[in-house]
Amino acid sequence: MTNPSLLILPGDGIGPEVMAEVRKIIDWYGAKRGMVFDVSEDLVGGCAYDAHGTPLTDETMAKAQEVDAVLLGAVGGPKYDKLDFSVKPERGLLRLRKEMDLYANLRPAQCFDALADFSSLKADVVGGLDIMIIRELTSGVYFGEPRGIIKEGNERVGINTQRYTESEIARVARSAFELARKRNNKVCSMEKANVMESGVLWRDVVQEIHDAEYPDVELSHMYADAGAMQLTRWPKQFDVIVTDNLFGDLLSDLAAMLTGSLGMLPSASLGAPMANGRPKALYEPVHGSAPDIAGQGKANPIACILSFAMALRYSFDQGAEADRLEQAVEAVLADGLRTADLIGEEGREPVSTAEMGDAIVAKL
């Protein structure tokens, strides 16, 4: 049997720093648990543009299609703000999502006990929070045509198209119901069916899939604006939330911020099963490239490390090893180790990116 393969795309800003710590974890699994991965590394985002004039080359795209899982750091930075829309760093990430057809973006929003105080929300509102947002990731206004900036008379007009087919909605709904069955069996679907026909179709299809295939799961529907409110008011009312690409972008970031520990949150983007039964998959932290602190050894590597834990769970069927890694992270936090982003008023000394990575390896 060949080793499972990983493509690592560190990307821009703090991406390379946090990914270096993930490499330590991967090496540990090879050395101590006999789980050897074939690892290759490549460019995505601004650094790919600098090297090749495109945020993702066809070669890298082809490699991503072949491996068992892609790990991505972060893309973007002010250096690339003035680039044309078509070669912006984000286009590299969006191309990966689209061509790998990673339709289900799993974004857990979990509050770590040791960090509950760090949230801007009251401790009782977020303590013990554990919700999962499933965001549709390959369609909607992110990819719909027509799009662009056109001239009408002497005015510019900006156009994007929100577009969802029945089967696009159905497959991500199934992902949500499947996940809910392994959790607390509750799904809340969010859209704006009161103002958008695409939301009407979304609501109808989610309900149909539920009634036909998952009648045992508790399903509710909420308008996305009310969803934003309810997430802020009492997030623990939710278990799994399923929503479209654009609403998911805002709502999952909002949910992430509720926990107060953005530097802690991983994500998985999953597609259809490949020939070997593993889903197409890309794992990345929720945080961005944080250009302001890049290269200073200040970044928190935990989100990226926990993204690898998600890879163990969802790509390699190693739930127990994923648990082990997650527990190592919690143990390090319980010991009081904090990177700079996790320092509140209590005036601890922050540890560096590498120190945090080493401490987690030591706990393993």
Which residue numbers belong to the known binding site for Mg(2+)? 225, 249, 253
For residue 327, the minimal CB distance to its own copies (Å) is 28
Report the residue number, 36 or 157, with the smaller CB distance to its own copies.
157
Residue in 253, 280, 283, 314 annotated catalytic: 253
Residue in 58, 225, 323, 335 annotated catalytic: 225
The answer to whether 142 is a known catalytic residue is yes
* Token code pair at residue 43: 């460019």
* Token code pair at residue 63: 């490699």
- DSSP for 261-322 reads -GGG-EEEEEEEE-TTSPEEEEEEESS---GGGTTTT----HHHHHHHHHHHHHTS--HHHH
* Residue 187 and residue 240 in contact, taking contact as beta carbons nearer than 8 Å: yes
Residues whose CB falls within 8 Å of the CB of residue 228, separated by 6 or more in sequence, listed in order: 250, 251, 254
Report the residue number, 243 or 318, with the smaller CB distance to ligand IPM.
243
SS3 label, residue 231: helix
d(CA 135, CA 268): 10
122 binds, among its own copies, ligand IPM, none (CB under 5 to 8 A by kind): its own copies
d(CA 210, CA 190): 15
Report the residue number, 165 or 194, with the smaller CB distance to ligand IPM.
194
Given 117, 225, 323, 335, the residue binding ligand IPM (CB under 6 A): 225
The answer to whether 214 is a known catalytic residue is no
157 binds, among its own copies, ligand IPM, none (CB under 5 to 8 A by kind): its own copies
Given 93, 131, 205, 282, the residue binding ligand IPM (CB under 6 A): 93
296 binds, among ligand IPM, its own copies, none (CB under 5 to 8 A by kind): none
d(CA 136, CA 158): 24
Given 27, 90, 218, 321, the residue binding ligand IPM (CB under 6 A): 90
Report the residue number, 94 or 180, with the smaller CB distance to ligand IPM.
94
Residue in 239, 244, 249, 341 annotated catalytic: 249
* Token code pair at residue 302: 């935990």
Report the residue number, 114 or 258, with the smaller CB distance to its own copies.
258
Of 164, 160, 184, nearest to 173 by C-alpha is 164
The answer to whether 239 is a known catalytic residue is no
Q: Which residues are annotated as a binding site for substrate?
A: 97, 107, 135, 225
99 touches ligand IPM by CB under 6 A? no
For residue 301, the minimal CB distance to ligand IPM (Å) is 18
CB atoms within 10 A of CB 140: 24
The helix-helix angle for 245-258 and 224-233 (nearest 10°) equals 10
Residues that bind ligand IPM (CB under 6 A): 90, 93-94, 194-195, 225, 249
